[in-house]
Amino acid sequence: MRPHKRAGWHPQLSNDKTIVMTITFRIRFHTHPGQSLWLVGSHPLPHPMPLRYVNPECWQVTVPLSPPVAKALLSYYYVLAQGDGGQTMDWGQDRALLPAAYGCPELLVLDSWNHAGYVENVFATKPFKKVLFADHLTSLEMSTPPHATHTFRAKAPRLKKDQTLCLLGGSAALGHWSTQKPVLMGRSPQTDYFSAALDLCGQSFPLTYKYGVFDVKENSFVRHEDGADRVLGEADAPDRHTVINDGFARLPAVPWRGAGVAVPVFSLRSENSFGTGEFADLRRLAEWGRETGLKLIQLLPINDTSATGTWKDSYPYAAVSAFALHPLYLNLEAVATGRNRKLLAALEPERQRLNALDALDYERVMKAKLEFLRKIFPSQKADTIASHEYEQFFATNKHWLVPYAAFCCLRDRFGSVDFSQWPEHREYNAESIAALVRDNDEAAFHYFIQYHLHRQLTEAVAGVHAAGLVLKGDLAIGVYRHGADAWQSPELYHMNLQAGAPPDAFSAKGQNWGFPTYNWPGMAADGFTWWKQRFAQMANYFDAFRIDHILGFFRIWSNPAHAVEGILGYFDPALPLEPGEFPGHGIHVSRERMLRPFINDAVLEEVFGDRSEAVRRDFLLPAGTGAYSLKPEFATQRLVAEYFARRNMPGAGSGQDANDAATDEGIKIGLFDLISNVILLEVDGQLHFRFGMEDTWSYKMLPADQQGKLHELYVDFFSGARMSSGGVRRCKNCRRSSG
């Protein structure tokens, strides 16, 4: 079994076939029958390379290097391939070698597997390395022996300031276990490893050793690592250098604790604000965080949500772009230059008025900011675009910035974000969009805004870090159905489906967010490029991410396009019901009876009371034997919702008062309930139980024996308690959705 290549690995064979050195990668790892280990990375191989089994605790492979490759930095990792086709990668991206630096024809690398669940991996991540533990790095000038034979490397991310790792062992080169003068190890800011190069020529092998902690300021030994002595059996050899990668030093896993605050940026209003919090206000929050001992600031999503131009756009989880930042958070004073700063004086009364409000007036703030930005843009455009910083920003972000700017231009031109209704450019075409934005001041205006948002957020992040706090971002699970991402790449989404959440104690009918679900096979086809770009964009600003509804990466509550409520959804992926399961459980209710809404006079009386007759007259058709069906124009929740939306539109001629509107709302919800009064859902010809089936009138009006048998199958469907015909436990729902 050959493992999949990790993205970013592009190995190529050198044209120069002269071999100048070899590297033997040897990893200490206990395997079981059927398992195998593979080497993957930027080594000179056209594909992942299998390691050779040496013994139950060791695998290795030897790789020849040509001159150009030997001079390059080689990054790599290991993959454990299971006999059943599964695979596990060892954790981290810190395995790297510069072969030529060792100046020998043979390099032996002794590695240790890095288990993803090992707690120390947490402290080797960006928030700790770059912020929380940033001042812990102790710089030491390390000398390398002229004829070093071995290099020891180990990690200890939680060492305190002025502490470093050291080596002690049972040989003269390691000080015969002396704690007075151990071998000190150094670490550069660019690496996670402490390292020490030693000349072990003439030493006795096997050699026992341990890592320890040394305080360089106090010039004192602190402690040995825990556990048994380590043993090195690979003695020095002519023309060979040995690198020992021991992973983490075995130090106590003392719990680390830190508190933080979660906040939307628009809530950071200060005396100098423009009616809303801005990126610049993050500095003030960070200063307060430092004074109160906080370690982290978590923000709600900060992407542009400008869809309708109304207060409805204030919902932060429906961004028109997963990449663009929201203009709401731009500080005008920091954008304006030269004479344009004087123009802010005219806005001062409006600023004070908006800032004095108890709540954010989203529409007025956006209007005031955008009008001012449009006023100063013509005079600042040339200098901005000519700057090197802007050129770098544009080049790095062009893949999303150009489509986003074009989307904004077309949204404003046609008065809608629903690109399916645009008279032109309904389908994204890179060539026509390039022509549209070329020399287009309106597109350049959106570039201008995003550039300044990027600058201000970058400066704010630096301020947060300077205060010693981590900044955590919020990655919304969905993309807006009528946004730039769906317009640019609709093939990456199931546009005919809607993401949501199943019913629970807080939402009896489930949730329907309206976002299209992800087409994971389509995304996998190009190596999940969109996701990698999205994470890279967030990594420009954030040290950590909260992934909203992370379960959606594994399964999603998927609602059909015709549904308004979440009650008609189903888990995706999920194993459907099989036709033979119904007679197999003694269920003889017809498929049609379980699939169609069950409506009779008793149900109508229960739902509508004294309005039943009006509902029968206006929305239903007789279906024989006292049953009814919905008229075709009201057959789905979406059709019902659209009908009542038209009735209540201004100028529709309904002449409704508040009581009439309430009556309409009650009838609409009642019709929704009729439509969802089913036992089964049919999805692409496959059957799923409707969640909460036992609460439906359709189920309650079945014979008692059929209710009991349906209940048994329903519980089995969602609990996964049954066995398949082959005797193997099946992954059912909710468990069945684990894929």
Query: For residue range 179-193, what is the model confidence (pLDDT) as tens digits?
Result: 999 999 999 888 899
598 and 463 co-located in one domain:
no
* 83 touches 106 (CB < 8 A): no
pLDDT value for 3: 58
pLDDT value for 556: 95
587 and 731 co-located in one domain:
yes
136-to-45, 54, 133, 161, 718 alpha-carbon distances in Å: 38, 40, 5, 4, 50
Where is 700: in which H helix or E strand? helix 697-700
Residue 19, classified by CB atoms within 10 Å of its CB into exposed (0-12), middle (13-18) or buried (19+), is middle
* 400 touches 324 (CB < 8 A): yes
269 and 386 co-located in one domain:
yes
47-to-6, 88, 371 alpha-carbon distances in Å: 11, 17, 56
Beta 163-169 vs 183-184: how paired, if at all? antiparallel
460 and 587 co-located in one domain:
no
d(CA 154, CA 230): 12
pLDDT value for 17: 53
What single-letter DSSP state applies at residue 186? B
467 and 586 co-located in one domain:
no
193-to-11, 48, 153, 247, 249 alpha-carbon distances in Å: 25, 25, 6, 8, 10
Where is 683: in which H helix or E strand? strand 680-683
350 contacts: CB under 8 Å, gap ≥ 6: 364, 368
Q: 629 is in which domain, residue-wise?
A: 574-650+657-738
Q: Does a structural domain hold residue 251?
A: no
- List the chain residues with pLDDT less than 50: 4-16, 721-739
Cis amide prior to 734 (ω within 30 degrees): yes
* 286 touches 321 (CB < 8 A): no
Q: Does a structural domain hold residue 662?
A: yes
Which residue, of 443, 475, 507, is where some domain finishes? 475
The model's pLDDT over 54-107, given as tens digits with 9 standing for 90+, comes to: 998 999 999 998 888 888 888 899 999 998 889 999 998 789 899 999 989 999
d(CA 318, CA 479): 7
Among 258, 252, 279, 255, residue whose Cα is nearest residue 268: 279
Q: Does a structural domain hold residue 589?
A: yes
C-beta atoms surrounding 289 within 10 Å: 22
Q: Does a structural domain hold residue 83?
A: no
Which residue, of 420, 441, 475, is where some domain finishes? 475
Q: Which two tokens stand for residue 10?
A: 């592009």
What single-letter DSSP state applies at residue 300? -
127-to-63, 93, 131, 250, 458 alpha-carbon distances in Å: 35, 16, 5, 22, 16
Beta 240-248 vs 106-112: how paired, if at all? parallel
Q: What is the mean pLDDT of the chain?
A: 91
Q: Does a structural domain hold residue 218?
A: no
End-to-end CA distance of the chain: 21
579 and 715 co-located in one domain:
yes
The model's pLDDT over 686-707, given as tens digits with 9 standing for 90+, comes to: 999 999 999 999 999 999 999 9
579 and 689 co-located in one domain:
yes
d(CA 143, CA 146): 9
What single-letter DSSP state applies at residue 189? T
597 and 705 co-located in one domain:
yes
Domains held by the chain: number: 2
Q: Which two tokens stand for residue 447?
A: 């570039």
pLDDT value for 15: 45
468-to-252, 288, 406 alpha-carbon distances in Å: 24, 11, 39
Q: Find the Cα–Cα–Cα–Cα dihedral 209, 213, 216, 218, rounded to 10°.
A: -120
* 116 touches 38 (CB < 8 A): no
Q: Find the Cα–Cα–Cα–Cα dihedral 596, 597, 601, 604, rounded to 10°.
A: -170
* 308 touches 469 (CB < 8 A): no
Q: Find the Cα–Cα–Cα–Cα dihedral 186, 43, 57, 4, rounded to 10°.
A: 120
Where is 470: in which H helix or E strand? strand 470-475
pLDDT value for 66: 86
Beta 628-630 vs 620-622: how paired, if at all? antiparallel
Report how many helices (DSSP H) and strands (DSSP E) the chain contains, helices first.
20, 31
151-to-101, 107, 109, 193, 358 alpha-carbon distances in Å: 12, 11, 10, 11, 64
Q: What share of the chain is helix, strand, coil (3-state, %, to 5)?
A: 40, 20, 40
Torsions phi, psi of 552, nearest 5? -65, -15
Beta strands, E only, 239-285: 240-248, 260-263
Q: CA triplet 519, 524, 526: central angle to 5 degrees?
A: 115
Q: Does a structural domain hold residue 680?
A: yes
d(CA 531, CA 20): 40
Q: Does a structural domain hold residue 51?
A: no
Radius of gyration of the chain (CA): 32
Q: Does a structural domain hold residue 329?
A: yes
What single-letter DSSP state applies at residue 2? P
595 and 715 co-located in one domain:
yes
